[in-house]
Amino acid sequence: MNKIKEYIFANTENYQGQTDERFQDLAKQFSRMQDARTDLGGAALVVYFQGQKVVDIYTGKKSATENWQSDTLSVCYSTGKGVLSTLAHILVSEGFLDYDTPVAQYWPDFAQNGKAKITLRHILSHQSGLYDIRNQIETALEMADWSHMLEVIAKAKPHFEIATDAAYQALTFGWLVGGVLEKATGKSLSDLMLQYLVQPLQLDGAYFGVTEFELARVARPLAKLKTQPKPSGQAKPKPKKASLFDKIVEWSGQNPQDFQDAMIPKGMKKFSFFSDEGLKAVIPAANGVFTADSLAKIYAMLANAGEWKGQQLIRPDIFKNLSTIQYTQRDRIMPLPMYWRLGYHRVLTLGKSSKGFGHMGFNGSGAWCDRERNLSFAYTHNFATGSITGDYRLWGLTQETLRCADAALKGRKGWF
């Protein structure tokens, strides 16, 4: 009930930046959702519509002593999978590799342990069987060593026959995709990002491995407020109630061991994605660092079928391939059917229909595009982690973005 009151009575103008009048309701909703917690962190929202930026707003705290800025970088967890996938599609368009050639042709060591027939298509659609991270390394600290992790992935054994099932490659996805891109091109992932994404789109911040110089721009989680110790003999606080999304995970009937193997490396308590070491490490499936504008612009290019400002970054035939649904059932890890494309999943809303695609992150960040509406969206923040399906803010902001676009296109917003 308190959350509802906070939303209803929130300040609708607690943000900075610019908003097109057609998306003013979205800006108000953004403010309502952030208003009660701006002392706990900050957030940014950027939307492109028909090739133009129509929303670029932000609010709250980047750190205990700094306010969020328009160019603040944010750790976006799995939202980065969509960025890495986009880079892969650009490189397919450039002819460096294709979706259906065995990965081992580019990366011979990868053929070990029954992986000789796995293709980029299998990896991008989470049908490779290579989702297990927990049993591949002894400690999460190993994830910071890129070369070592490529060796680990090359030796890994799939948990099921390729293309017979799907399991979300929560952490392994980055080494799988990033590894084959490096092997196919002979260039480092950072160089590929710079040459084929950052420079062509003139992005203001997009990293898999933040440089020392850019660390100061990254929003870190704010320290939790310490509570006073309770008097001796007083009852212990009740355990936190499970969220709706946590209950969905429980009700889904998934195998808890599969979930743990995909999501939780051993020794994770000793590793932080937000430490300097964690930020500088190349862990593309989990620690991509972006501004909201960079994410929204990448998806604006995708919303325009791979073309941006006169540059055709992705060929039409490749775009058709990447946006085609590859798997419709619920996979072994995710509690909901994700309708996996090649590196992206469906747009999750509160009811509004979209044939678009994108990727969300564990903390509730997310970015997506809608080709039919020529619309893209990105939401970033540094608040506490949400859940495997994000949280209600991401879903709600997505819903209102689609509604505002429909009001501009059709004259009415509608809920579905």
Q: Quick one: tokens of 300? A: 């604006």
Q: How far apart are CA 287 and CA 273, in angstroms?
A: 6
Q: How far apart are CA 245 and CA 88, in angstroms?
A: 31
2-72+294-410 and 82-195+245-280 in the same fold = yes
Contact call for residues 158 and 114 (beta carbons, < 8 A): yes
Q: How far apart are CA 401 and CA 151, in angstroms?
A: 42
End-to-end CA distance of the chain: 26
Task: Please list the alpha-helical segments (H only) found in 133-231.
Answer: 146-155, 172-185, 189-193, 199-201
Residue 7 pLDDT: 82
CATH class held by domain 82-195+245-280: alpha beta
Q: How far apart are CA 116 and CA 109, in angstroms?
A: 9
Of the candidates 130, 216, 138, which has an alpha carbon nearest to the alpha carbon of residue 180? 130
Full DSSP string of 58-98:
EEEBSSSS-B--TT-BEE-TTHHHHHHHHHHHHHHHTTS--
Write out pLDDT tens, residues 312-364: 999 999 999 999 999 999 999 998 999 999 999 999 999 999 999 999 999 99
Q: Quick one: tokens of 16? A: 């900075």
Q: Classify domain 2-72+294-410 at the CATH superfamily level.
A: DD-peptidase/beta-lactamase superfamily (3.40.710.10)
Looking at the chain, how many residues does it have? 416
By percentage, how much of the chain surpasses pLDDT 90? 87
Write out pLDDT tens, residues 210-223: 999 999 999 999 97
Of the candidates 89, 287, 110, which has an alpha carbon nearest to the alpha carbon of residue 192? 89
Write out pLDDT tens, residues 224-245: 644 444 444 445 555 556 555 4
Domain range annotation of the chain: 2-72+294-410, 82-195+245-280
Say what the pTM is.
0.93
Residue 1 banded pLDDT, cuts 50, 70, 90 = low
Mean pLDDT of the 93-113 span: 98
Write out pLDDT tens, residues 180-206: 999 999 999 999 999 999 999 999 999
Mean residue pLDDT across the chain: 93
Give me the amino acid identity at 405.
A
Residue 248 pLDDT: 59
Q: How far apart are CA 385 and CA 17, in angstroms?
A: 25
Sign of torsion over alpha carbons 207, 211, 215, 220: positive
Say how many C-beta atoms besides its own lie within 10 A of residue 73's C-beta: 26
**pLDDT at 396 > cutoff 90:** yes
Looking at residue 315, the DSSP 8-state letter turns out to be -
> Angle at which helices 392-410 and 24-35 pack, to 10 degrees?
170
